[in-house]
Structure 1
Amino acid sequence: MLSVTEVPEFQPAICACTVATAAELPAVKVLSSSFLAEHPEGRFVALVVDAQPEHSGPGLITPLDIGVDEVELRVLATALDAAGLKAAMVPRLLEALLSQGMPVLYLDPWVQVFGSLTKLVLEALRTAPVVLLPRTLRPLPPDGLQPGPAELHDLGAFDPGFIAVGAGAEPYLESLDMPAIVPHHVVRDARVGLSVWNVADRPLHRTESGTLAVVGQDLLTVHFRGFDPRRPWLLSADFAERPRVLLSEHPEVAELCQAYRAELVRNGWSAVPVPYRFDSLINGTSIPSELRADYRAFVPPPPPAFGEDGGGGFLLWACERTESGGTRWADAVWRADTSLQQQFPAPFGADAEAWREWCAGVGVASGRLPAPAVPQPRSEGPALLDQLGVSVVGSGPLAERVLAAARASGLPVSTSAGYPVVVRTSSADEVPDGRFVVEVALDATAADDRTGVNELWLSSEASRAAAERIGGPIGRVVPVPVQDLGVRDHSSGDVVVFAAIADHSLDRSGNVLGAVSAFLSAFPDRTDVELRIAVSGAFQHPEAAERLRLATGSDQRISLVDDQDVLLSADAVVSLHRGGADDRIALRLAELAVRGVPIVASDHGAVAELFGKTAVLVPCHQGSEPDVQAASRLLRSLADDLPTAVALGAAGREHVLSVRSVARVAEILRERVEHAYRGWRARRPKPKDEVDPMLALQSAKHALLRQPTVDGPHRTPMAPALRKVVLRALDHYDNHMRQVLHTLIDGVERTVSELVNRQDALKAGVGAGELELLRAEIEQVAARQAHFADQLVGVDDGVVRVRADMAGQGRRQRDVEDAVVAEAAKRAKSDEVLAERIDKLTVALDRTLDRIDNLESKVVEVFRERDSRLDVAIRAANHAQQTADALRRVVVRQHEAAGDAPGVRSSLVLCDAGMMRLPSDDAFMLPLLSSNGVWEPDLAELLDSVLEPDGIFLDVGAYVGYHSIRVLSRLGLMGAVVAVEPDASAAALLRHNVSANLPAAVASRLTVVEGAAWESAGELAVSPTLTGGVSVSPLAADAGDDVARVRAVRLDKELDDIALVQGMKLSVVRVDTPGRGHRALAGLVRLLRRDRPHVFLEFSATATSDFGDDPVTVLKEFGVWGYDLVPVATRQAAAPDQIVKAMEGLRSVTLWLRPRPVGAKPAAPMPSVPIKQPADQAI
């Protein structure tokens, strides 16, 4: 009996549980210790699905402890893999624990607990009896990273590693496949369930006390499902290709993973995998997942793989032969492995032998299937009998009709593929190689796969035209025979009965609704006519059946009958069929016509070709669409003249029997089979004629009787006489050599003759004793051959596949030869058509060339017009630019004449910020702004992107206020601008520019601080610069009164004294004091740490060095304050030494001091790149 209370007087407030395998015990121990450490008032139970019964103990149970008996566990372990068995045990465990009267929390084994869950779970269970946890609280973006929306859709929106149940959850536990049948509560707390699904949206950080926190609250649980201790650089090995979460970007999560791995190792994890108890049989063969699925679907259930018989009954069931020719186990291995499916695409067809070789070799050796599960070799089929005959293979009504015609033809007939000519009625019927394959097809199309077919028999010329294609088999018209069952016994009554066929498998082609429409149109109000419809296929096609019922339900004269015999009792049968199933419809109507039933049918396709003038044919329009109005007129005429209908039925019977009787079709079949047999014999290689081996030797022997010729012509006159003299001198020697050669040839001849006689004797037969010896030797050879065959099983799969490929290439070559022959015949017939087409194409080409000439002239004219319009547009643009420049000068002069200029010598410039006055002696900003109309556009765009509407914009070194005016115009009455400028004349121009370009209410949001920003309050020496404005430096101790001075202010104290900005947050700081900016920011460090604004600093390494400070040290100090150094020109973070090195030869560079998130480490520097700004390039 399961009990979670070991102390009788102690009642836990909450019970946590988990379900795991023995391999997950280290993770279970980490979960158990972390949960009990945070929940001293709770209890923890772990169910190990593959643990032995004797291994249970305190806190560790087996399926037997929760009511699962041994027999059920064996069946479940066979039918389900590890994940499936765990999922099946979860509701059983929750139900068992819930019956003890306490709330139960299920946690995945890979969860680690960091805080108490009792309050959260109990409050949620007061709302609903079931509590669930979503994987993520925000939608995952479809950016291609994993996990993404597709993975969330496949795996589910809720986290299966967190389920809490209370009283009332029993219906949920009994039907987990329908989780919405009971009320449930969804916990939307970011502290719970931190995982690979949501780390990107829940930044993890440590509080000041050192505890882990999410969104400012203490972390409660982390789900490490998918974490592999052997690959600790990945948060989840399930999403390793394009992970959404990179531990290098989340250092706190990386530290958490390292600590979790250390806990796993401390609790017993090792790199040696722990086998799953129910993963394989006793002999170590793994059970494939597809075989488990077959086990679940098989009725009645086979014996389990882990029963008392040691899995013997299961192995017998799994090794049984299937209909495809393999075994259940081998088929399951092939279905579960996509690589095997690619390697053996037809394991029960062309690749059957190669697949068997793989199973016997690699499959058995690797433990993927046992030896009894290897498929048996396929039988080679019946032996080929080289004589005229026909084999009809297949089953069904069509095969029976073809077999009847074959038997009536007088040819030898077989139902196995023994004869060279094989007629089959389905492409699924396999035929051995080396046969002439004929396929009988109804309603064939050109797109049908006819691989391996030499000839195609079709029932009509229309079907043959539709099925022919280049490279396909040759089509022949051999109709399907119709058996003569005699004339029906029928007499007409007072009611004229029409019948129609409703085969719902051919709903569109049969067009029974067309017959209904024609009947209703022909007889709108007559009561002496009926329409009876013979229905088939209604159960398989309910939609078509329901449509027919609704179309006929309102007319009592129309009845739907399931009995096909109703067609024989009708006065006429109506078929207003469309194209698509002509052969089948024609065969059905032929069966009725043979019984003497009059036929009314559409005038197209195979039906019209079959009946001709012996049926009432309804004209069609738009190809094969019957004319309903014409059909209604024909029905009325037929109903008024029944004797004509009877005569038409008799004529139709005679005609159909003349073209489709069994005897007539048998004649056609015999002719086609004889032709096919002759073609098959012609393609077979002819055997070579036997040649007498003594013939060559006897011919050579006659060469010894030849005499040398001495009378032949020669250029030397004395040559013939000299030849005769030599022959006389050598005559004795010549005769001796001839005798020797005669003797030698005679010996060779006798030896060869004896050898030939012995060979003939061996062919003719030998004695009984020698025959027994020969039989014994043959048996020994056969035994050795069988032994070698067993040794060759499972040798090189590649050689076997090559052999299969070569056989396939041979078949394809024969197909190509047949296709070439057929194509040559077709091309011979189409030479004249091709010549006509070439003539037409020549005429069309001439016309096309004329059109091209016309188009070229038009294109030239269009280009000429375009060039003229372009010239006009360029002149207009130049004129517009000159006009704009003149208008700008007029506006500037008008503003100078009407404006109230301050008492500073200045020049007026029109720019994007408005009418700006700059000092007349400005040699840098004045010419650039007057010619371009904008100043620092990249910096201005970046300022606008980071500016907060209710914040403070601090402009240090504001000069004449270009950026201050732009920011004020965007802030309006929301924020505030504080401009710091040490030059009094520039400050006066700044106030003037603000009042001239902005409304008074907006201008009032500006505060001008006349002084120099510094690290401390006091006085600084001031001196003018060549580019405009002034430069400040520390005042020397011995400076006299003639030295110009300016007030030095500390910005944080100065901002505290400005009433306008009280309560506002510092948003953006711009510092344009090259070489002095770090001193100005030193007086603002308190507010920089508090508000963390974006800072844009004009930095000059040369000026900083001249001032006495180290540029690298200055930049590193900014990093200490919590800022990343980002050059505005590149928008990429860089290291201090990279920035200083890249500034060689540059006056200054604008840096973006980008605040880092709290707790984040400095951004990794990017590779060193040149840093340049437009202003520097202009200089």
Structure 2
Amino acid sequence: MAHHPDGEFFTLVIDGRSEDRRLHGLGAVLLVEDLPLTPEVRSEMAMMYDVMEFATALKPAALLHLHHLGALTATYLDPDIRVYADLRDVFESAASAGMALTPHMLRPYPDDDLRLQPSDVMHSGMYNLGFLSTGPAAIRFLAWWCERLKTDAVVDLQQALFTDQRWMDWSTSFERPAILHDPGLNVAYWNLHERRVVEVEGGFEVNGGPLRFFHFSGYDPLTPWLLSKHMLDRPRPLLSEMPGLRTLADAYGAELVEQRHTELRTKRYRLDRLPDGSLLNPYERRLYRDAVLGRDARIGAPPDLVAEPYGLRPWLDEPLPAREGLPPITRTEFALWRTRPDLVAAFPEPFGAHAESFASWLLHDPHSPSHARPRPLGMPRHSDAGLSRAGWSVAAYARAELGVGGAGRRVAKLVAHSGIPSELVGYTGTSLSRQAHAPWRAVADRARYNHTILCVNADQTPSAIHDLGLPKANGALVGYWFWELESFPAHYRRAMDMVDEIWVSSEFNRRSISELSDTPVRLVPLPMRAPSPPTALRRQDLGLPEDRFVFLVNFDYLSVMKRKNPLGALRAYLAAFGPDDGACLVIKSINGEYRRGERERVRLAATGRPDVVLLEDYVTASEMAAMIEVSDAYVSLHRSEGYGLNIADAFALGTPVIATAYSGNMDFCDSGNTLLVPASKVPVGPGAEPYDATSPWAEPDLDVASSHMRRLFDDRSIGEDLVARGRERAAHFSAERLGNELRPVLLDLMMGTMR
């Protein structure tokens, strides 16, 4: 409106009510009943579509309405578009050609694995319909498009449907729209590989010309380090590498906050619920759509929602016809089955041979994905005449460079020190981490012994048991598990029933899992590093500054960055030191390429501080140990740890530790060997999957952490005292001592399975 004061502005509120017409700042407010759609069609569309589908499905009807009001041109703009310059020539193109469109991009994508990919555009359509300008000559096409979108504005990639957009690909065959190639139009995350946004006096330019409008699709002012949520963890445009774009996004985010967007967006979509107040699920919407289209005779005809506005829920809850003697299922239950490939595979005939088993599944937990493939609680015991019974196979991510892989290798060392014959068996599973670690002993491809310790977590236990053919005949099967919250997820019960015992590394884990498990849970601590000669590697070999006091943080992005909390350590450091104080924070990470959005957040937080060093590549195990050894302090401001391998390594390698006083590390951390950071309990919150957002974990006190950092820097004798006590503690957890303690446990398990 600022750039076109002579134009008229309309806002369509798709779940609006009559009182919404009085809303200010939106121009003229339109409601769905204003559009050229019958009441029956409006009701059907509102029920079959989710919020995004419904909004896009109404687009041609809204444009037709404006032309019926006499508009020479009617232009649609997504609500996440911001206009920066005059668009009069765009409107003139639409008036002349009938339609004006902007392609998603003007140049091909680079040949890489980052988002977007050509396949994304082929799924979503060649033209981005966050913007569309039309003239009177477009009415014929708009009418055809409007008809298609009455039922076919769904997201169904298998049917080549993506809301309203794929249909626009037909426009160049039916009409002759103006295809706009100005790079300043509809700039967005999907075309920044070809467009460079720079800040200039008085505004912004794109490729040397004015920025006309920017499409902030997927931008969230609460996650300002990420340009769009739609790029997931593989964003191609990175704000840390594009200062002009970052300035643009920050300014837009500030405007959103000023306009109370973060508050207003929490208001629920009114059409998510039926008139009776019940929630309408996505699979119920799909079933209703198929009923409207008459695509499945088993469903039957839907109710007339104009005549029966309260009729949809009773219809959905109504049992479908079933054979005599078999339990019936409702339309809602059938809708769930149809949209879940795992349920279709588990219960191919829900109205016949599998009716009872499907009904049983529904009764137990109709929404839990952990029970999507019901299997016997115990796995069949495989026989293998060639096995040697008198020994243990430790199956682990033997070569993987990740925490649970390191834990598995330590368990193998622990069992070896028990004196009982054993081996290390390699397992890869779905691990994305580099498989380049050279274990301390040979790695077997298959288990030779009857008895197995499976060092994969509960979520991977069923698939690992299947892949490795476990448990063996008359053999014991132990699961060595980690978990990082006080409550263990109930959907892992099935994995619990597959093992004879569950072993854990910390009392924190033992309490968490024991509360849920009928399977015995045993505390079996991990061995810490044995004393070794000082490393021959120097700081310069490892990328560390030689002339500064180095605080080291180390984490894996695949281990949930929010839990590891490197940003907390960074904030504490920045509060304690200026860039010229003589200190340095080194943040060592791996697998950031799989979590590019989170990595971007860390990079942006470190911008402008040369004393913060980001090391983002893999190093060998010996190099990582050397990095801990030559640093002046190791910092772990975690929100929760199942154990704390890096903290334990710092103890053994003689490096002072600052750590959160919470979770698994408290089995070996105390106020004598660690500068402990107190913490308060807070909910996990969003963005930390697979952890339940409502569960508690710790929020370390960053003021105390900052004070600890400064004390270590100012008084080196504090660190010397911590190192001495830390090494004493590490010696208590030697592989020799723990192996001797484990020997009778292993023998008892072996004898128990042979009785």
Instruction: State the TM bucket, normalised to the shorter chain.
Output: 0.3 to 0.5
Higher relative contact order, structure no. (Cα contacts within 8 Å, ≥ 6 residues apart): 2
Name the structure where helix makes up a greater proportion of residues.
1
